[in-house]
């Protein structure tokens, strides 16, 4: 696919804005007693569900023959070369205790290749967008990864909910905190990937990632000039369940660190 239909971006960004406006109305008045647990470490709220349904409706209204994979409702019955991958609130735990670092993530794939990525941070009104071979933007202004080197780098991390993923993330965090400048867990993988793309951080490492967490952000980093692999150092694919995204300068060093843990 050489040319991307401009309607894809228009629909995705409008849907993200619409969902963000709805969620902002509930954000500061949300009561944590309303949460439900999907697993020991994973929560969901009625607002995750409402956001996903809104996003699905907006996408299917424009593209009724496209498939959709969402975090809350899974994969529908439609078969298509086009697959939308959505996370209605990436960083739900942050949302529940009024931490503003949560986002809405929308990716579009064509034949298993990510061709559009949208990460919207409603509280900050920041819209990160990437199109395959078209670059990456923040609120319509071009963005690039940073040129920071190892000693000056800010690293971020996230993890899945299996014990092995948590243990690897903790080892990584400990190593980074003891030997490097700083390492943070911001609580939204999509947002952290967008921050790497925008030059705000130099890396994000995630064992146990899900496609709705990272598909849009991976394209953002790639199109902003960064490097993306799985944590073994192989080129990232949609089926991978880990990711390392960096400004490129520090990538090989981080792969070696991860392999040593």
209, 243 contact by CB (below 8 A): yes
Q: For residue 122, how many other CB atoms are within 10 A of its CB? A: 22
Q: Decide yes or no: CATH 3.30.540.10 for domain 6-142.
A: yes
Task: Kindly give the confidence (pLDDT) of every residue in the chain, 261 residues in length, as a single tens digit, with 9 standing for 90 and above.
Answer: 667 899 999 999 999 999 999 999 999 888 787 777 766 666 778 899 999 999 999 999 999 999 999 988 888 788 999 999 999 999 999 999 999 999 999 999 999 999 999 999 999 999 999 999 999 999 999 999 999 998 899 999 999 989 999 999 999 999 999 998 899 999 999 999 999 999 999 999 999 999 999 999 999 999 999 999 999 999 999 999 999 999 999 999 999 999 999
Strand partners, 117: 107, 130
List pLDDT tens digits, range 87-128: 999 999 999 999 999 999 999 999 999 999 999 999 999 999
Which sequence spans correspond to the domains of the chain? 6-142, 150-260
Q: In what order do the strands lie in the sheet with 227-229?
A: 182-184, 154-157, 203-207, 242-246, 227-229
Options 3.40.190.80, 3.20.20.140, 3.40.50.300, 3.40.50.720; CATH for 150-260 is 3.40.190.80
Query: In angstroms, rounded to a whole number, what is the distance separating the alpha carbons of residues 93 and 99?
Result: 8
Name 78's Cβ contacts closer than 8 Å, sequence gap at least 6: 65, 66, 67, 68
DSSP string, 67-118: EEEETTTEE-S---SEEEEEEEEETHHHHHTT-S--EEEEEEEETTEEEEEE
Residue 243 DSSP label: E
Residue 4's SS3 state is coil
- The pTM (predicted TM-score) of the whole model is 0.95
DSSP string, 137-201: EETTEE-------GGG-EEEE---SSHHHHHHHHHHHHHHHHHSSEEE--S-HHHHHHHHHTTS-
Question: What are the structure tokens assigned to 95, written together?
Answer: 């949302």
Q: Measuring CA to CA, which residue among 162, 157, 159 is closest to residue 40?
A: 162
């Amino acid at each position: 696919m050489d040319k991307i239909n401009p309607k894809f971006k228009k629909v995705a960004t409008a849907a993200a804005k619409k969902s963000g406006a709805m969620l902002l109305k509930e954000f500061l008045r949300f009561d944590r007693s309303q949460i439900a647990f999907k697993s020991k470490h994973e929560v969901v709220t009625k607002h995750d569900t409402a956001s996903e349904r809104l996003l699905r409706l907006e996408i299917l209204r424009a593209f009724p023959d496209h498939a959709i994979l969402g975090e809350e409702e899974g994969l529908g019955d439609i078969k298509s070369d086009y697959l939308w991958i959505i996370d209605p609130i990436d960083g739900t735990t942050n949302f529940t205790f009024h931490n503003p670092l949560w986002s809405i993530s929308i990716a579009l794939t064509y034949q298993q290749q990510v061709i559009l990525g949208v990460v919207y941070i409603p509280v900050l009104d920041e819209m990160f967008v990437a199109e395959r071979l078209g670059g990456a933007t923040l609120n319509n202004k071009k963005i690039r990864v940073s040129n920071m080197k190892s000693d000056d780098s800010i690293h971020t991390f996230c993890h899945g909910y299996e014990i092995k993923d948590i243990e690897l993330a903790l080892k990584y965090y400990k190593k980074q905190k003891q030997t490097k400048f700083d390492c943070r867990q911001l609580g939204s993988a999509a947002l952290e990937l967008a921050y790497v793309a925008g030059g705000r951080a130099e890396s994000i490492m995630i064992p146990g990632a899900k496609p709705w967490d990272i598909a849009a952000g991976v394209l953002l980093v790639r199109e902003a000039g960064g490097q993306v692999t799985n944590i073994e150092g192989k080129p990232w694919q949609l089926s991978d369940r880990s990711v390392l995204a960096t400004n490129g300068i520090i990538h090989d060093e981080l792969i070696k660190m991860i392999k040593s843990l």
